[in-house]
Structure 1
Amino acid sequence: MKKFKLKETSYSFDKKGMIIEGKRVDGIVKVYAKDLCRINENIMTKGEIMNCMTNGAYYNWNYYASRLEPLETIKITQLDYDMLKFLQKQGAKYICRDKGGLINLYEKEPYIMSDNCTWRAGGQCCYLNKFTKQLFNSSNGKIKNIMSLKMF
C-alpha cells in the first residue's frame, strides 16, 4: 500500500490535499472506502463519509495516479543524483527497477502492469545496460569520464 496526496478531486466527497492510501495498478490507485474514510475522518463531514461508504466498506474507489502526488520520498547519494542528472540530459525523464532487477529508463511516465512485475510507458524506452556499456570501458572496466559519453 502506497500513500498519496490528492491534487485533483474526482468524487463528491474528495477534498484537495486529502491522503489516499491504496494499491497502484496500471496507472490507477485502488482505495478501499473504509481506508479512505479512516485516514481522512478529521477533514471529511459525516455526509461525505456516508457518500464514500455508500457501496460498502470494501468498495474500491479508483484514482488516476496522475491526479495524485506520492508521499514517500526516496533518499539518494550524490553520485546517484549526478548520474540521474546525466541520464536526464540524455532524454530519460523516469527511471524504475522491475522485479527482475533491470533498471528501465523512460521519456514518458511509466506505470506498473497488472502482473506487478513489468513497467510500461509510451515513447522511448531504454534499459540501463545500454548506459553502462557507455559508462564502462569494456577492455579494462575503468569508469570513463561521464561528461564525455555519447547520447544513447
Structure 2
Amino acid sequence: FPTADDLVALYLEPLARLPELSPVIETGARVTGISRWGADKVRGGGREARPFMLVVETAGGIRRDRARAVIDASGTWRTPNPLGAGGIAAEGEAEFADRIAYGIPDILGRDRALYGGRATLVAGSGHSAANALLDLARVADDEPGTTFIWTTRGTDLVRIYG
C-alpha cells in the first residue's frame, strides 16, 4: 500500500505537472473555511443556489474565492480524533503525545525503526488502522519482538472487511 508521501510523489505531483492542469493548480494555499456566498447560519433560504465562498490563506494573505462546487477531500489529517470517548483526550494522552503517531505513519519505510522490535497499540476501525496493522505484521515477520494490539470503539468492523 502506498504511503501519503508515495501518493504525492508518484501520483499527485506528476498529475499537477500536466499542461492541462498546471495553470489552474495553486500550491501553498490552505482553505480554512467554506460557506455559501451571502448566507449565514440563521438565514439559510436559497443556499443551494448560491456559490460557495472559500476562505483561502496563502503567504500573501487571506482572500475569499467563489466556487460552483467543492470537493472536500481533507480527511482528518490536521485534526485527528482523540483516543478518549466523547471527543476528549484519553487519560494520559497529552502526557504521552510525543509517543503517539496520529495519521498514517510510514511503518515500512521512514518510520520503521520506531516500530520494529516494539509493542504498538493501533486504535481505530478505518482503513488507516487496517493499513497500519498490515504493515506491522510485515515488520513482525522480519523483526523479533514486534507485537501489536488493535483496539476499536465498537464491534462493527464492516468498514474494513466490507
More strand per residue: 1
Q: Which has the higher contact order (CA 8 A, sep 6+)?
A: 1
TM-score > 0.5 by shorter chain: no
TM-score of the two chains, using structure 1 as the length reference = 0.28
